[in-house]
Structure 1
Amino acid sequence: MGRGISSSKELRQGGSPGKNGSGAATLTADVVSGSSTEDHLSPSELLEFYKLMYESRRIDDREVLLKRQQKIFFQVSAAGHEAFQAAMGKALRSGYDWVVPYYRDRTLCLTLGVTAEDMFLQAVGAGTDKASGGRQMPNHWSSPELNIISTSSSTATQILHAVGCAEAGQFLAHNPQAAEKGVGDYRAFHDISFHSDEVVLTTLGEGSTSQGEFWEALSTASNRKLPVIFAVEDNGYAISVPVETNTPGGNISRLVANFPNFYFAEVDGTDPEASYFAMKAAVEHCRAGNGPAFVHGHCVRIYSHSFSDDDKNYRTAEEREADTMRDPLHKLQMRLLRDGILSTSELTEMEERIDAQVAAAAERALAAPLPAISSIPKHIYSEDFDPTRPELETTPGRPHMEESGSTEQGADRTMADLINACLRDEMRRDPRIVVYGEDVADATRIKALKESKGKGGVFKLTAGLQTEFGVERVFNSPLAEANIVGRAVGYAVRGMKPVVEIQFFDYIWPATHQIRNELAVMRWRSNGGFASPVVIRVPIGGYLTGGSIYHSQCGESIFTHIPGLRVVFPSNALDANGLLRTAIRCDDPVLFLEHKRLYREPYGRAPYPGPDYMIPFGKAAITRPGTDVTVVTYGAVVPRALQAAKRAEQMHGISTEVIDLRTLSPYDWEAIATSVKKTSRVIVAYEDVKSWGYGAEIAARIADELFEDLDAPVKRVAAMDTFVAYQPVLEDAILPQPDDLLQAITELRAF
Structure 2
Amino acid sequence: MASRTTTPPATFRDLPVEEVVGDFRLALISRLLDDREIALQKQSRVFFQISGAGHEALLLGLARELRPGSDWFFPYYRDRALMLGLGVTPEQILLQAVGSADDPASGGRQMPCHWGYRWLNVATQSSPTGSQCLPAVGCAEASRYISRRDLPGCAAAGDELTYVSLGEGATSEGEFWESLNTACTLHLPVLFVVADNGFAISVPSDEQSPAPISELVAGFRGLAVHTLDGRDYFEVRSRARDIVAHIRAGTGPALVHAKVTRPYSHSSADTQSKYRSVEELAEEAAHDPILQLEQVLLAAGILDEAQVAELREDARRTVADAARAALAAPRPDPATITDNVVALPSVAPGADREPDASPDGEVVALGEAIRRTLTECMEADERIRVFGEDVADAREAVLANVEGKGGVFGTTAGLQRRFGIARCYNTPLAEANIVGRAVGQAMRGLRPVGEIQFFDYIWPAMQQIRSEAATVRWRSNGAYTCPLVLRVPIGGYLTGGAIWHSQSGESIFAHIPGLVVVMPSRAADAAGLLRSALECEDPVLYLEHKHLLRQAYTRSPMPGPDFRVPIGKGRVVQPGDDLTIVTWGATVEKSRQAAARLAEDGASVGIVDLRSIRPWDTELVAERVAATSRVMVVHEDTLTGGFGGEVAAWIGEHCFGDLDAPVRRVAALDTHVPYEPALEKTVLPQVEDIAAAAREVLAF
TM-score computed with the length of structure 2 as normaliser: 0.97
Residue by residue over 1:111-138, the C-alpha shift from the partner in whole angstroms, topping out at 9 and shown as x without a partner, is 0011100011000100110000000001
> Counterpart of 1:232 in 2: which secondary structure?
strand
Inter-CA distance 710–542: structure 2 relative to 1 (3 Å threshold): same
The answer for the alignment partner of 2:662 in structure 1 is 713
The answer for the alignment partner of 1:237 in structure 2 is 199
Residue by residue over 1:570-626, the C-alpha shift from the partner in whole angstroms, topping out at 9 and shown as x without a partner, is 101111011111111111110000000000001120122122321111111111111
Q: 2:90 aligns with which of 116, 127, 130?
A: 116
Offset at residue 565 of structure 1 (A): 0.8
Residue by residue over 1:269-322, the C-alpha shift from the partner in whole angstroms, topping out at 9 and shown as x without a partner, is 100111123222221111101101111110010100001100011111111111
Inter-CA distance 530–614: structure 2 relative to 1 (3 Å threshold): same
**Structure 1 position 575 matched with structure 2 position 536:** no
In 2, distance between residues paired with 1:227 and 1:689? 45
Inter-CA distance 86–140: structure 2 relative to 1 (3 Å threshold): same
> Counterpart of 1:157 in 2: which secondary structure?
coil
Tell me, yes or no, if the aligned pair for 1:397 and 1:613 is still in contact at 8 Å: no
AA matched with 1:202: V
Q: 1:432 aligns with which of 383, 407, 411?
A: 383
**Structure 1 position 541 matched with structure 2 position 503:** no
The answer for the alignment partner of 1:262 in structure 2 is 223
Tell me, yes or no, if the aligned pair for 1:282 and 1:294 is still in contact at 8 Å: no
**Structure 1 position 691 matched with structure 2 position 643:** no
In 2, distance between residues paired with 1:94 and 1:648? 67
Offset at residue 395 of structure 1 (A): 5.2
Residue by residue over 1:530-584, the C-alpha shift from the partner in whole angstroms, topping out at 9 and shown as x without a partner, is 1111000000000000000000000000101111111000101111011111111
Residue by residue over 1:4-60, the C-alpha shift from the partner in whole angstroms, topping out at 9 and shown as x without a partner, is xxxxxxxxxxxxxxxxxxxxxxxxxxxx99999798534333212211111100111
AA matched with 2:352: E
AA matched with 1:208: A
**Structure 1 position 644 matched with structure 2 position 594:** yes
Offset at residue 150 of structure 1 (A): 0.5
- Map 1:240-639 onto structure 2 (within 5 A): 240-249=202-211, 251-382=212-343, 386-387=345-346, 390=349, 392-394=351-353, 396=355, 409-443=360-394, 445-639=395-589
In 1, distance between residues paired with 2:208 and 2:347? 47
Q: 1:41 aligns with which of 11, 15, 18?
A: 15
AA matched with 2:391: V
> Counterpart of 1:435 in 2: which secondary structure?
strand
**Structure 1 position 89 matched with structure 2 position 63:** yes
The answer for the alignment partner of 1:159 in structure 2 is 133
In 2, distance between residues paired with 1:310 and 1:452? 63
Stretch deviating more after TM superposition (220-229 or 447-456): 447-456
The answer for the alignment partner of 2:603 in structure 1 is 654
Tell me, yes or no, if the aligned pair for 1:34 and 1:274 is still in contact at 8 Å: no
AA matched with 2:677: P
Residue by residue over 1:370-406, the C-alpha shift from the partner in whole angstroms, topping out at 9 and shown as x without a partner, is 0011211111113xx5346755425536667xxxxxx
Tell me, yes or no, if the aligned pair for 1:390 and 1:616 is still in contact at 8 Å: no
Percent identity of paired positions between Structure 1 and Structure 2: 50
Inter-CA distance 481–431: structure 2 relative to 1 (3 Å threshold): same
Stretch deviating more after TM superposition (38-47 or 328-337): 38-47
> Counterpart of 1:446 in 2: which secondary structure?
coil
AA matched with 1:647: R
Tell me, yes or no, if the aligned pair for 2:69 and 2:121 is still in contact at 8 Å: yes
Inter-CA distance 298–260: structure 2 relative to 1 (3 Å threshold): same
AA matched with 2:647: I
Offset at residue 450 of structure 1 (A): 2.7
**Structure 1 position 740 matched with structure 2 position 689:** yes
Residue by residue over 1:162-211, the C-alpha shift from the partner in whole angstroms, topping out at 9 and shown as x without a partner, is 100001010011122xx23xxxxxxxxxx322101101100000000000
Extract unaligned runs of 5+ from structure 1: 1-31, 181-190, 401-408
AA matched with 1:331: Q
In 1, distance between residues paired with 2:353 and 2:396? 39
AA matched with 1:738: V
Offset at residue 324 of structure 1 (A): 0.6
The answer for the alignment partner of 1:199 in structure 2 is 161
Tell me, yes or no, if the aligned pair for 1:49 and 1:272 is still in contact at 8 Å: no
Inter-CA distance 470–95: structure 2 relative to 1 (3 Å threshold): same
AA matched with 1:164: G
> Counterpart of 1:127 in 2: which secondary structure?
coil
TM-score computed with the length of structure 1 as normaliser: 0.91
In 1, distance between residues paired with 2:607 and 2:13? 75
**Structure 1 position 724 matched with structure 2 position 698:** no
Offset at residue 697 of structure 1 (A): 0.6
Residue by residue over 1:227-254, the C-alpha shift from the partner in whole angstroms, topping out at 9 and shown as x without a partner, is 00000000000000100111212x0000
Tell me, yes or no, if the aligned pair for 1:203 and 1:231 is still in contact at 8 Å: yes
> Counterpart of 1:119 in 2: which secondary structure?
helix
**Structure 1 position 672 matched with structure 2 position 615:** no
AA matched with 1:259: F
Tell me, yes or no, if the aligned pair for 1:560 and 1:664 is still in contact at 8 Å: yes
In 2, distance between residues paired with 1:534 and 1:69? 42
Inter-CA distance 471–161: structure 2 relative to 1 (3 Å threshold): same
In 1, distance between residues paired with 2:174 and 2:356? 47
> Counterpart of 1:723 in 2: which secondary structure?
coil
In 2, distance between residues paired with 1:40 and 1:313? 43
Inter-CA distance 206–741: structure 2 relative to 1 (3 Å threshold): same
AA matched with 1:99: F
Residue by residue over 1:722-745, the C-alpha shift from the partner in whole angstroms, topping out at 9 and shown as x without a partner, is 000000000000000000000011
AA matched with 1:594: E
The answer for the alignment partner of 1:14 in structure 2 is none
Tell me, yes or no, if the aligned pair for 2:518 and 2:611 is still in contact at 8 Å: yes
AA matched with 2:32: R
- Map 1:4-83 onto structure 2 (within 5 A): 40-83=14-57
In 1, distance between residues paired with 2:277 and 2:483? 48
Residue by residue over 1:428-457, the C-alpha shift from the partner in whole angstroms, topping out at 9 and shown as x without a partner, is 1101100000000001x2122233110000
In 1, distance between residues paired with 2:238 and 2:173? 28
Inter-CA distance 506–34: structure 2 relative to 1 (3 Å threshold): farther
In 2, distance between residues paired with 1:356 and 1:583? 51
- Map 1:204-215 onto structure 2 (within 5 A): 204-215=166-177
> Counterpart of 1:248 in 2: which secondary structure?
coil
Aligned length in residues: 695
Tell me, yes or no, if the aligned pair for 1:393 and 1:615 is still in contact at 8 Å: yes
